[in-house]
Structure 1
């Protein structure tokens, strides 16, 4: 399994539009010699990490016999590969996707100015963006936001700053 962030994106993500903030790939080879590869990718603006992969790839390996390659991916081959794909998905699972999503949120939070006084427009717009992403997927978006921001900022301070961010956003044309 290969997990990478946008700074070390694997080559297979280069053609994706828009470029993902995170990517996960997991693969295995069947006894017959077919490689099954499952891939997830996403960005911080996704409503939620995908529960299942966005892409499943089946390709021949050098272990595949010429006869099997000539037959191709038949219904029988597919029946044999479904359990492999299921196991690969289970290895990554929702927990892994969720962890990547949280890491992306943490990265966005780390890109905020240290205080709203440094760059108010950037800070409040970024804070509201992170909150809206968390609010779409979390039952406790405020608590998650406080954890993502870190430091010694209280929950009440975050609520006050969110209120300010909403007011500023409402004034935007």
Structure 2
């Protein structure tokens, strides 16, 4: 647990989850069904870009600089990775928003060869567990209106559609804003 707390202090810098509760109550590093989950490091960015290429058919929604800013410079953002056999196969990014009250999922991706194994749901559940323990009020995210597979994963994890965001993406595609209330979670 000391290694995890050291990584957490480095990753969160000014955002100190430790002040909210005893960090021994939260599992930040875990193994489930042969997949290891941990906080991301700068060295994971190259893997993130490869995963994006795989998932988004060659497109890169985020650049190296975007990821680097969130992982290294943004004190209110962090990523959790899923890896198996030493290879990063998925990630989720989150950012604390609204003066520290809520959390926003910035992105989630799992290599196509590893999809439908519960990895995306486990990544979401880890963020939910951590943010609930830290007393955050709700989680939000945007998802493409035509990405019904992702919407189904989010719904299974307690997210509900809040509103339609017309022409949200650069290509003119619509997004759906989804929200999950966190207070009083069990």
TM superposition score normalised by structure 2: 0.26
Higher helix share: 1
Structure with max Cα Rg: 1
